Amino acid sequence: MAKNLVQNLSRAATLRQLEILATVYRLGSIKAASEFLHLTQPTVSMQLKKLSESVGMSLYQMIGRKLTFTDSGREIAQSATRIFGELGALEMRLADLRGLKAGALRLSVVTTSKYFIPHMLGPFCERYPGIDIQLNVGNRRQIIERLEKGGDDFYVFSHPPEDVDTVSTEFLLNPLVAIAPASHPLARKRRISLAQLAQEPFLMREQGSGTRFAIEQFLQKHRLKLNVKMTIESNEAIKHAVMSGLGISILSAHTLTFGGNAGLVELRVEKLPITTSWHMVWPKSKSLSPIADRFLQYVHDEGRQLIESEFRRTGLVTKQLR
């Protein structure tokens, strides 16, 4: 019986009739529903009659001027309401997908995040091939300047500026570790004190770098002064300088994963790593485009797992990430 009813409904009832029934149920009268749907009252009654014939059951009765639904009328109306709710959600999802077919995603990221951001972007671009990605890379100071102009969808920092009105979500750890060539005498030591670290020739990132900012905060906290031998503007150049024995450094562990550690090791220094986190940041005044919104969701749902599992796979650094 129930099966026949459903078959009759799906064969003969039109979505329009179900919509009319759901509207009458919601508004409580044929008059109100006809006004809402811009139909005449006889049309509404006629469509409900046809629906009732399709299912072979009466849907409502009039007691005086009051419309009362039968049990079957109520059941069908409630199901129709759910169906239209789902169709509405489907329409929104499709509109969302249409919005994701083409358009741009503009990212401005600090230099250190360039080690993992492209690896996060890979699967996203594969899923949405029509999206044009614009990736701008600079040090922290340069990315703050871009944030102040506000032309991009997201800014990636580990130390978002505090004096710009932004929204920020944390998505990944960013441990800063001390690095040295594998052949360095400290490389075999199980515990290196901060005082020992401070004696080594140190290669430091430039003014305006977020890495330097974090190191300086750390030094201040521990009242420490490093033996800075050279200031170098790029993580890669620092890695090469460390490899060639010019000194040691402190860099984000991310610089050692996707790019390869090339014979560098993490030194086991007390109080290290310096713990910071990556943030997706955007101006408070700006609402996210559907593309930006989807990307943010992707970063939190999938992107960060991808990077974390790369950390685990390389087994390189650092206890905090394993």
Q: Which residues in this chain contact ligand PGA in the complex, by CB under 6 A? A: 110-112, 139-140, 157-159, 174, 205, 209-211, 214
| CB atoms closer than 10 angstroms to residue 61 | 11
Helix (H, G, I), strand (E, B) or coil at 187: helix
- Nearest approach in angstroms of CB 200 to ligand PGA is 20
Between 214 and 317, CB nearer to ligand PGA: 214
- Residue 165 dihedral angles phi and psi, to the nearest 5°: -80, 105
Amino acid at position 230, single letter? M
| CB atoms closer than 10 angstroms to residue 23 | 21
HEC per residue, 169-191: EEEEEEEEEEEEECCCHHHHCCC
- Nearest approach in angstroms of CB 238 to ligand PGA is 10
- Nearest approach in angstroms of CB 204 to ligand PGA is 11
- Nearest approach in angstroms of CB 192 to ligand PGA is 23
Between 111 and 257, CB nearer to ligand PGA: 111
- Nearest approach in angstroms of CB 95 to ligand PGA is 36
| CB atoms closer than 10 angstroms to residue 31 | 14
8-state DSSP, 170:
E
Between 138 and 181, CB nearer to ligand PGA: 138
d(CA 263, CA 131): 38
Token reading at 9: 């409904």
- Those residues with Cβ within 8 angstroms of residue 65's Cβ, 6 or more apart along the chain or in another chain: none
| Residue closest to 83 by CA, chosen among 30, 9, 2, 32 | 9
Distinct helix (H) and strand (E) counts, the chain: 12, 11
Between 34 and 174, CB nearer to ligand PGA: 174
- Nearest approach in angstroms of CB 115 to ligand PGA is 10
CA trace torsion 138, 159, 286, 90 (10° rounding): 100
- Those residues with Cβ within 8 angstroms of residue 228's Cβ, 6 or more apart along the chain or in another chain: 202, 203, 204
- Nearest approach in angstroms of CB 83 to ligand PGA is 50
Between 137 and 186, CB nearer to ligand PGA: 137
Between 23 and 235, CB nearer to ligand PGA: 235
Between 106 and 140, CB nearer to ligand PGA: 140
Between 111 and 261, CB nearer to ligand PGA: 111
- Nearest approach in angstroms of CB 244 to ligand PGA is 21
d(CA 285, CA 162): 16
| CB atoms closer than 10 angstroms to residue 119 | 15
